[in-house]
Every structure is written in structure tokens, then in C-alpha cells.
Structure 1
Amino acid sequence: MIEILIVEDSLIEAELLRRALSRAGYHLAIARDGQAGLEAVRAQKPALVVSDIRMPYLSGYELCKKIKYDPDLWNIPVILLTMLSEPEDIMEAINSGADSYLIKPFNEAMLLERIRSLLATPIRMRRSDERRREQVEYNGRTHTITGGSQQILHLLLSAYENTLVQNRELVSIQNRLNLLNESLEEEVRSRTAQLAASEVKFRSMFEGSSDGILLIEAETGIIVDANPVMSELLGMSREAFCGKQVWEVELLSPIASDGESFGKLKENLRRENLPLVSASGNKLSVELACNVYLAGATPYIQCSLRDITEYRKTRIALQLFRTLIDHSNDAIVVYDPETYEILDMNGKGCRDLGYSPEEIRGFRISDIDPGFRSENRIVEDLRHQGSALFESVHRRRDGSLFPVEVSVRNIELDRNYGLAVVRDITERKKSELALLRANRALKALSACNTVLVHAENEAGLLDEMCQVIVKQGGYHFAWIGQVMHDEKMSLQPLAHAGHEEGYLGIIPGISWGDSLLGLGPSGRAVRSGIPQVSRDIATDPSYSPWREEALKRGYVSSISLPLMKRDGSIFGILAVFSSESDAFDEEETGLLVELAADLSFGITTMHMRIERDKAVEGERVQAFRLRQSLEETIAAIALTLEKRDPYTAGHQQRVAKLSAAIAEEMQLPEDMVQGIHFGALIHDIGKVYVPAEILNRPGKLSEIEFGLIKSHPEVGYEIVRDIHFPWPVAQMVRSHHERLNGSGYPRGLGAEEIGLETRILSVADVVEAMAAHRPYRAARGLDEARREILRGRGTEYDEKAVDACISVLDKGFSFNS
């Protein structure tokens, strides 16, 4: 393949040559300057060299001379390719020994033909052998040309061909210019007509625009024109400000107040909320947009002002409204009342359901309310009455359900819309359920206390207790069992009521031993002495021996409560079953624990009464034991009578427990602690005088009824004053409602008249009363009781007794433990 060397310092020219010669099938090498070209010629000896003239290090003329006068390279053809076209340049090319001379930009066909011709006619004589000198006159100067005949002929032919090509190109260019000129004249005529039409159209748009428009000379700042809306915005005639510089018009100072600020208008300024005051004083908010354009050679600025005062007010109002809606505590839904498609939902609704606003749009009401039907009664009410209020259940993204209260109404705007306000009532439902269960337990507790008072024997007591728990308390099933100390450590059922349906006879025996049959709630309750709750029998692994039979009878959850003697030993079990899951919450459990404690006390008291009767019959002569039996009997009677008031059941026992704890905290003598404990056990014995219907009444009492209740300290005093106790029990009973500042009753005693035992009892009585339920109010809790005794410390209540009580409570005192 023929190799051609290109010597060119211009990357672009070199690339043009490379492409042209590559297309012609030549093999190419490229050098970037004359020196590199000479080295390449010597190393490669190409068939032909194409070289630029003006190059660093070594010009094309110099390169050509070195090739032509080299004994090894003289016969290599050299074509000089340059933009130099003067006769002097051609003569210099002849002197350098060049074989051909082409002018840039080169004609590709001419270049290829010149290369073909030179390659087809080998150089047979050295330049040094055929050189001859000729004198040439040109442009007033004498030039010497040194070269061979063949070389000079090739160069002159090259120059002639260049001239012919250039002439042809000039003629072609002239023809194209003539055509272009004719086209331009036609275009000018067309554009002139279009400009005339555009002027009419622009003027129409300018005058009819709903935005105010100012046309300002960009160089001088002079207002050259303004449309009618601009005059209306400013409250000025067009003549009043046209012809003036922008900053000379005071009303336009927000746009440009001086020459410097006017300069910013040339930067295509945009202002979204620009304050503007009209000549009449109206305050406006405008949107400013400035554009610079040329009219001929003159630059102009077009300022467009749009009155957005009402739009901005509306947008702010909508933003405020949306903010209020999104921060609402209720979900708010807008939907299509025809298709029930959700159109929008506030943030609270999206958060409740777990969707983004974009995701929820397009849902249907039935997608979030599984029970919704377009033909149901609520929809019919909405169609006829325009609004409806109902409860339903909604489904979250994760599939979980929650109860809601929905208020819906139809709204007519651009079309009909449905608006729903949805409130999550989960907590309300929980509270209702908790209250229902608490009331159920309270009813059972109240009724059981009545049973305790009237029971004549243990069997009847147990049977009636089970009946009351089921019928009054609304529980599904209840049974009472006795702890047997036999080989199997079994629990023997003594009484039951409700949906027993043979359950106690069919199931495997229940044990309190550490075995499979003792792992159930009842066995654990006996062993631990702590109530045991199973909130879901279906999944409770400890229920496996009895689960199948329990579920057949509708038992869903259960609680087993140990029955204890005074010494803490377990003698029985009370098991209560519910048909609801997750029953027996903390409050319900607490009330049932109290019921079990009362039952335990009633059974224990009944046993004690039997034992006492035996002791009285058998040992009448023993005075000490008689006195002890008398004291215990009075305490038992007092505690039993206390059950007439179900809401204060256990009150005296709890007050006695707290009173003894306070006395111990004050480090009083043991005998005194015992006296305080005993006095507290019967301090409300006088309530036997008050009718049960008054004690149990949940509403507000009349003054006469309240007076009867306030008489119980004196009645109690009359009951016990003739009993010779070794402690001031009668005074404790009589004065436990007295206060240090004389504000108490029944006698309004002062501090010096109230004994220490009574002072301690008063503090304990207040704390327990506030912490427990009452017919007329719910329990206020220990925290409220703390605040009350601290409030009255030193004025109503003894300081040391209050401090000791606070200390006892801080150490974790509990009425139920």
C-alpha cells in the first residue's frame, strides 16, 4: 500500500487530509511540525509528502529543500499545501524544490489528481543536476527563480489549476448570492407585512391585557408607554407618568427607586409579592415580571404587573384552612357521593390509616370501611336528610381494624361532595369496656357483700356467692374449690354456677401440685398465693389439659383467685370465667381480688364463729379467753357489718392496716400499735345505725341523709363505750372525724383534745377513703390522697402522723398486699 506522509501542525487540517486520503485508499503517517516531518521522511521514506508551509521548528520550504537536496530522498514528490497564494509564495516554493503547490481550503478532487499524477511520473533527475536560474520582474522587483524544468512546469500547472478552481467557485458563489439576495428581498417584503400585522396584534394584546404593562427604554429608564390596566392599578392617567423616568414616579418606587435599582430590571427580574400603593391609597400585592428585548437597535424593558391581592388573600386563607384541617384531632375525608371515591384526606386521617395523601386518593370508601355498602340505611339517611352520624370499623394499611365515629354530610360547591369527619374511638371503647367490666365486678362485689352478711352456713354461702358472681356480675361461669392435702394435692369443687354443663365432672382433675394438672391458673394461684389470669384460653399453653372442653362451653378467659386465712395459708380457690377475650384488666382484677378477700374473710369469720361458739360453751370460766373472744367477735361483727356498704367494703380493715403501719413508722410501743389497729378495725361500727339504702346510694345525699351518716361516730361511741378495752377505743371511734383546727365533727374538738391514736386514725381514714371507690365518685387514687394530707398538715392533720404516712407510702405500702 502506498504510504503518504502528512506534515501539518493544525490538528483540524491534518484530520481533514487524513480523511480525504484514507478514503482514497492511501496508507498515512502524520507529523506535527517540520522537524518531526524530516525525521519521519528519513526513517520511513514515504512515496509522497504533503506539507503545510508555516510550522514550528522547520517551515515547509525548509523541509522541502532538505528532502530535495538529500542524496537518499531527492526523488520523493513534495506537495506544499498552504493558504499563501501570492506570486512571491509560488516563487519561494519553486526555489525550495517543491513538486506541486495547492492553496487551502483544498479541493479534494484536485488534491487526489495531483497526487496520482506525481506518483505516476517518477522524478528522474536530481534537483541539483537540473537547476537553472531565471530572473523575473514582478511588482517592481526582480526575483531569481532556481529550479528544474519539470518542477517549474508542475508548479505552474498547480497554480493555474488553483486559479481555475477559485474562479469557478467565485462564479458559483456569485450565483448563490444573487439567488439569496432575491430571496432576502422577498423575505423582507413578507416580514414587513408580518410585522405590520404583529404590530396590530401586539397593540391589541397590549391594550387588552388583564395585566398592567409598562414599556421602558432600557438605557434611559424613560416610560414610553403603558396600557389601560397599568393606569388603573396606579390610579393615574397614562399621560401623568409616560415620558418620565421610572424612579421619578413615586408610586413606582417599589419597582425602581433610583438608577441603580432600575439596572436590576435588565436582568429579567421576577418578584412574586411586590407591595404597591395606588394614588388613592389602596394597598396592593402585585406579581412583577421584567423582560428585555430589542426594537431595532434600541433595547426596551417590558414590566408586567399582575394584581394578586385577592389571589394572595385567598391562598393564605386556603393555607390556613389546610393547616387547621391537617392539625385537626379528627380525620377529615372528602369523597364523591356518587362513586364513593376518596378525593382528599387530611394528615390525621392518612396517619391513622397508614397511607400517604397520594396513595389514599382514588380509594373507595369500602377500601377503608369493610362494612360499607352503598345501599345501606345510613346512606339512605344521608341522601334524604343530608347528614348522618354512626359508628363503624375502619381498616388500616396493615389490615388491623379500629372503631370510629363518623359524621357525614353532603356539600354542594361546583358539584356535590361528601364530607366525613372520622374520630378514632378506640380509647373510648376501651374505657367503656373497662367501665363495663369494673361495674360488673362492682355489682358482683356489692351483691357478694350482702350474701356475706346474711349467710347462715358455709355451703349456702359458697353456693350463693357463685350465683351472685354469674347473675349479678354477668360472668359466664364461676366455681369455688377446696385445697385438699391428699396424695394428688387436688382441688375439690364445693360450689359452682353458670355454664358449667358438666365441665367439672368431665375434665381431668385439677391439682395444686407441681405437675401437668397443677400448671393451670388455679394450681398456680394456690402455690403462689397470687391471682392468675388467662386472657385467652385458646392460646394459653397452661390450659392444654382442659382447653377443648372449656372452648366448647364458651370459656374465653379466666381468673383464679386464692382464698386465704388470716395467717396467709391458702384454703381454697375462686375461679371466674368470661366469654370475652382480654377480660380481667387491672381494675377489674383488683375488685375481684377484694371480692375474694371478702369471701375469704367471710368463710374465715364463719369458721371463727363456729370455733368461738365451741370455746364459749366449753370454757366459760376462762375470763381472759372470754375477753379475747369478745374482742374478736366485736371485730368480726364490725367487719361483717361493714359489708352493708359495698363501696367501702374492706374499708375498716385497710384503715387498720395503714394505721398500724403509721404507728410502727412513728416507732410507738407495740401495745399502742395493737390498740390503734383494733380501734381502726371498728372505727365505723356506728354506720350500723345508717340505713343500707343511704350507704349504697350513688347519688347526692340530702342534708338529713348526710346528717345521719355524720352521726355514726357518736353511735359507734355509744356501742363500745361500756366495753373495757385496754386502749382508748371509744374515743378513737368517736373522734376520728375531728380536726386539729376544730373544723371536724361531731364535737368540733381542738388539737389539745384529740389523742395521738385518734390523730393517726384520722390520717389513715382520709387516705383510704380517697383511694377507694365511693357510690358518688370513682377512686381518686393515692396521689390525690397525698396532696390532701400534705395540704392539711399541721392545720387539720397531725404533722408527725402525716410525715409517717408519706414515708410508709413511699416505701411501697399497698392495701391489697
Structure 2
Amino acid sequence: MRTSTKRQTQTDPNQGGEALRAFVNAIKETLLLIDAKGIILFANETAAERFGKGVQELVGTCLYDLLPPELAKLKKEQFDKVFTTGEPVCFEEIGAERYFEIYCNPVFDVEGRISGGIVFVHDITDRKLAEEGLRKSKSLYRTFIDASNDMVFLKDETGRYSIVNKGYLEYIGKREEDVIGKTGFEIRPFHIAEQCDLSDRKTLELNDIVVTEETANNRIIETRKFPVMLDENRIGIGGFMRDITENRLAAKRLLESEEKYRSIFENAVEGIFQSTPKGRFISINPAMAHIFGYLSPEEMATNIVNISEQLYVNPEEREKYQKIIEEEGVVKAFETQFYTKDGGTIWVSLNARAVKDADGKVLYYEGTIEDINKRKLAEKELKHTLEQLRASLNATVRAMAVTIETRDPYTAGHQKRVANLARAIAQEMHLFKDVVDGIRVAGLVHDIGKIAVPAEILSKPSKLTEIEFNIIKGHAEAGYNILKDIDFPWPIADIVLQHHERLDGSGYPRGLKGEQILFEAQILAVADVVEAMASYRPYRAGLGVDFALEEIEKKKGICYDKKVVDACLSVFREKGFRFE
């Protein structure tokens, strides 16, 4: 609010009458009339409310006394300048969470001298907040479009650029100040500008999105333009431009990959399929149809509408297959029997995985099927042959065991009992079945070398001489020589050779120590000692199982392996093993 610089102003606030007072009190902004010293000569009701006083209280009060010292000093300097120069001033001030615009106009007396000033305080908080919001909004908007991977622009109704982001400026190689307010013809090559202008017109005519492409520097650029309402009467054009070169190349590679996959799918030797969890085929390759005796994938897919009931010989196998694939996501080498078109059966091996959606729900299964019918038949025949060979081997081993027992009647059954105990120890230690079988066989023939020991020494009822004992000790080496050329599936000859060796090297025939001794031989050694001590011999009575167990327990870790001894003790004391 300003007055003419030289116009005389009546300083008597009552001269205008009640109409004037009503007018100034209706103003919802602070209005004061002060003299050159800051004494309030008139105040409206808004000013009174602002200072928390009555109107009459304010009149005659110094304005500067109502303000904080620092603010009072500043305002006095500002107002004194008005009173000195006669020029009105306007400045902004921040109060307690509010913004104000303050005007001070000089007031002249009848002689043209400055007698004071009119102070008008306008609350501009709402405007300031709106400006700040707009500033932040523009800043956010600018940050957003500049961070976009796309090139962004906006043209006004005349086709002139009003907004462009950094990406667009980098693409055309221009500065913002060289683009804003210009048309495409002013900043881009004519042939490109002409194409852009055509797409601009088309966008406005269709009032819809228009997509175009251009190629520059071996790059493919896609532009999506759309109409933008600038205001009630003006329509501009917005646009997003994106480099789609990699997308196109990826699409090309995907197409090539799909063609390659289709070739593999169609020409694969193995069956390839996709099926639903409910048991319908989605896709089948020719090889799979051929495996099951169908003329084409279409024929098989049409005829098989329930995989579980129509393909599986044992439908519960389908349930087992689904449980594995749903819990683990994949199933590998799942062998089962399927029906063929003619009602026959074949063995197949399934490898498949579950394809799931974003929520983890199974959409379908996909995988391969291999015809393993010939392999299964060969395995069955091989298993039968192996069983025959194993039976022949066991018969041979038993014959060998009987041979030595006929020469040493006092140890009749010793080898069989040792073999049974050695097997029980190995099983207690959870060794593989094949290893357990080898230990049992070694136990049945571990004393085969005694065939080379004179019968009178074997059955001598009195204590052996040193020479006789050395002859007996030679049975381990003799057994090795008998067995070494037999092609057992286990190291039987070496186990027999080492069954009298001890961990501390005190055994025979070679004084081996620790890991030099086969683990199977260590098991056989414990079983041999326990059976020998517990049983009757020509030169002494049987000492009993408990005595034998105490003996190996004393020498655990010295002569005999700790784990083997613990397993032997467990077999007797916890599992109730007994010699037959």
C-alpha cells in the first residue's frame, strides 16, 4: 500500500469520521500510523490483536518498545530511512512460523515535511508456502525426469520446446538454453525435424499416443508422443524417447534361440515334454511320441488325457514323482514303468523340473524321458548272472573252509564263527554292504593257510615249541599265497595275510603298524581273537566271551582299533550277539 510521495496526508485519524474508521478496521492486515519517532498515532483492530492490546492502549506507545530489541533496532533503521529519503520501502520478514510483507509509506504535513509514516503489514504465509511447494515440486519433477533413462521433452501448442531433460539434451548435443523456446527445425537436421513435425501433427489429429522410430549412429530410437493439456485452451505434445537397440538385438537373439530350441526339440533323441500338475500334456516332441508308439505328438497328446492313469503302470509312482518335484523343485533319474500305445510296458527314466509363478505356485512340469527298457532287461540279466556267480563263489569258499577244518578238527566251525562276528561288527559300524560281504568271505577262509601246517602240530594238546609256533605263524603267508591269484571282488588275500597284524607293530607276519593294516583286516583280527579266546583249544579250556571282551578292551587303541573294539563290545553287550 503506497501513497504519492508529495501528497499531503491528514494526520488526524478522527477527521474522516466513523466511515473511515469502519473501513480501516475491516482490513484484516495490520495498519499503523506512526510519527517520525515511532510513536503510534493510529492503529486498526487487527494491529491491536497482533500486539495483544486495545486500540487506545496502542495509541501513544512507541512501536519499537513493542518489538524485541534486535527487531526494534532493525525496524527503526528501515523506517528512519523512509523518514529521511521520503521514499517508500517494502521488505519481507519471517515471524513465528509466518511470513510477512511490510510496507512503509511516508506521510507529509501541510508544509510538505515528513511527519511520519503509514505501516502496512501483509501476511503472505500462504503465498510463501505455495511458492515453496511449487519450488520443491519443480525440483522433484526435474530430479525425476533427469534421472529417467528415457529422453523426455514437452512442446507447447506452437511446437516450441518448454521442457527437456538431460537425456534429451545429451542425445541432440545441445544446451538447455539453446533448446527451450525453439522448434525442432531450429535445433535438429531438417529431415529429422520434418519427420518429427509430421508425428506431432498426427498426435494432435488422433488425440492419442503415436509411436515412431528413427535410426541414428547405428542406434534405434523409439519415440512415444502424446497430447498434453497445457491449460483450457492449449494442447501441447509430450514425448519419451528410448534407445531400443539392445531390445531389438535381444529379441533377435531370442528368436534365433527359439528357432534353435525348436530344432533341438523336434530332432532330439530323448523325449521332451511339458505337462500340467493335473496330468495333461502341454507339449510333446516327436521322439517322445515315438517312444510310446504314437505316430505323432498330436496323437499322443490327444489320447493321453490322464497321465497318472493312462501312462503309469503303478499310479502311486506319479504321486511319488509329484511329491519330489514339488518339494525339491526337480526330480532326477526317476525310474518307473509306463504303458505304450499297444498296451505293452517299458521302463523310462524321468528328469524334470517345476516351473512356478512369482508366488511359487507350480504352473507346469517340463523335462525329458529316456527309454531305458533295454538297460533294465540287461541289468536284470546281469543281476541273475551275478547271483549265480556269488552262489558259486560262496560254495567254493565253504569248500575251502571245510578243507582246513578236516585237518584241524579242534577248530571246526572257528572260521564260520569268526566270519559271523566280523560281519556283525562291520554292520554295527554301518559299512557299505559290499564291504561287509568281503569281510565275511575273508573270515570264512582266514585260516586256509593252515593247510600247509602239519596236522600233528595243529592238534598238539600241549604247549608248542618256538619252532612249532613259528610254523603255525606261517599260515597267514601260506593263506595269502593260496588266495592271491583268485579274482575275488575284494582284497581277500591281503586281509587274510594281515589278520594277525596289530596296531603297535607286535603282530605277524610283517609287523605292520596303524594305517598300514587294512581296515577289514583290523575287524577280522578282533573277531578272530575274541572267538579263539572264548572257545576250547587242545592245549587249554575255553576262557569265555566275557574274558575275551575284557582282553580286547584292555588293549583298545594299543593292539586293536578303538572303533572296532567299541563296535564289538556293542554287538555283544547291547545287541545280544552269541556264537552259534
Structure of higher CA gyration radius: 1
User: Does 1 or 2 have the higher relative contact order (CA < 8 Å, sep 6+)?
Assistant: 2
Same fold (TM over 0.5): no
TM-score (structure 1 length as normaliser):
0.27
